[in-house]
A = this chain, B = another copy of it.
Amino acid sequence: MSDRILNAELKRKVMSAAEAAEFVQHGDNVGVSGFTGAGYPKALPSAIAERAQAAHAKGEDFKINLFTGASTADAADGVLANAGAINFRAPYNSDRTLRAQFNDGTAFYSDIHLSHLGQQVQQGFFGRMNVAILECVRINEDGTVVPSSAVGNNVEYADAADKIILEVNTWQSEGLVGMHDVYAPEKLWERTPIPIVNVGDRIGDPFHRIDVSKVVAVVETDAPDRNSPFKEPDEVSKKIAANFLQFLEDEVAAGRLSYDNYVMQSGVGNVPNAVMAGLLDSKFENITAYTEVIQDGMLDLIDAGKMTVASATSFSLSPDAAVRMNDRADFYAQHIILRPQAISNHPEVIRRVGLIASNGLIEADIYGNVNSTNVAGTRIMNGIGGSGDFTRNAYISSFVTPSVAKGGAISAIVPFAAHIDHTEHDAMVFVTEYGYADLRGLAPRQRAEKMIAIAHPDYRPLLEEYVAAANAKGGHTPHDLTKAFEFHTRFLDTGTMLK
């Protein structure tokens, strides 16, 4: 047995994943740890999938309703989806098999803001939470638990669950100890303010206090997180990043931002990587991040003394960066805080700290409405994630995107977004490789001009043609509803949005 299980009572609960999976029944609501490929349980999902397959082989039903922090990995969502063992899932998923099941209607997905789900589970919106399965780095002598590389909804799921199963993963570095700040808001109707005033404030415990009497099993694992290699930003990403940084510079020039104490939030991917690389060489100092995910670029900014604190709910590091982090865990623990996602994404704190949000998108329309989730309005990709939490409550909200996708067959700017996740009331600034469109203070007709100016040149004439047809119909938000989705229907018919 590993030396990471220090509580005597819980030592006696150690068993195999197969044994532990017996605590999970068909129809159960199961809440698991895990966020963006980090900190998900590594053993139980396979064991549950095997139970499901055995049941299916006997002609019996076996499906669970799976609640996570955000995306997990093949070893969690993947194995369960492949076994046909998921009936319902929330929130945010990046597993391909499960995505296909959502899209063909064989599994059900509810796309909920990441800051909302924990409370909704606690309040019983989904019925009882039967089992919580939480990965951890260590179980302390007093029965408190050190979460692993993500905190996610662990607090709410453990609180709501009838039974708790702990996975103690010795692959996870003990260097994580001390990085967590586990704070549970009071229950509804008894709440007090969340006392975070500065991004770096620690307000909770470096461990998770669970009800030890609810733990039915402890399982030992040694498997790695789904860490993806870092991709060097491509030329388009670098141009988008340069335009985003130009926007920041222009805000400083306008007196609305300072080189000191820029508070960033950032989605994950090529463009954010390029932005962080650009910040390394910028005039911005004492940068902080109040965001969901700690990324490679933040370690670089911390190393360079540019970033003082990064607060998030999970890690999403390349294997190289994970090694760097573990080698200097004591140093990084002074600069990194992992919080529950209810806190990392909480409107209260986001609004207070005055951050600039920067997220990706599938498409935006000429009036600034954003589709983050459903390709051509119908096929779900991953989900809204935390983009709503940050976009709505940011000091300034921005979206960064290449102007086209699929080699030019898809325009990121369309007449009417075929699914809307962020409304014209929330999205302020859009950035492509062709510049930025600052929509603040503009009426819809004025916004269309700005948005078309940052569209790909091949699409500008088509967008202008639409605007002419729409303006002929009139209205505050001009549209010709017979043509509003022509970009999308042309793509579906011909494989390209171009004429």
Contacts and interface: CB of A to CB of B under 8 A. Distances in A.
A104 interface: yes
A115 B372 CA distance: 24
Nearest to A261: B189
Contacts of A481: 376-377, 418, 485, 488-489, 492
Contacts of A255: 124
A157 interface: no
Contacts of A484: 377, 485
B354 A188 contact: yes
Contacts of A90: 441
Contact of A348 (B109, B352, B379): B352
A246 interface: no
Interface in A80-109: 88, 90, 102-105, 108-109
Interface in A50-91: 88, 90
Given A108-B446, A256-B125, A477 B419 contact: yes
Interface string A329-353: 0000000000000000011100111
B261 A476 contact: no
Given A110-B441, A124-B255, A423-B420, A477 B378 contact: yes
Contacts of A111: 424-425
Interface stretch (A38-46, A191-199, A269-277): A191-199
Nearest to A89: B443
Interface stretch (A8-16, A141-149, A235-243, A388-396): A388-396
A471 B425 CA distance: 31
Interface residues of A, number: 80
A393 to B, nearest CB: 6
A324 interface: no
A1 interface: no
Contacts of A346: 351
A106 to B, nearest CB: 11
A439 to B, nearest CB: 9
B378 A475 contact: yes
A423 B112 CA distance: 10
Contact of A347 (B348, B354, B379): B348
A124 B425 contact: no
A497 to B, nearest CB: 12
A114 to B, nearest CB: 10
A296 to B, nearest CB: 27
A482 B471 CA distance: 21
A395 B110 contact: no
A125 B441 contact: yes
A353 B354 CA distance: 22
Interface of A: 88, 90, 102-105, 108-113, 119-120, 123-126, 188-189, 191-195, 197, 254-256, 261, 263, 346-348, 351-354, 369, 374, 376-380, 384, 388, 392-393, 395, 418-426, 440-443, 445-446, 471, 473-479, 481-482, 484-485, 488-489, 492
List the 8 closest pairs (A to B, CB-CB), nearest first. Answer: A378-B475, A193-B193, A380-B476, A108-B443, A348-B348, A420-B420, A188-B354, A347-B347
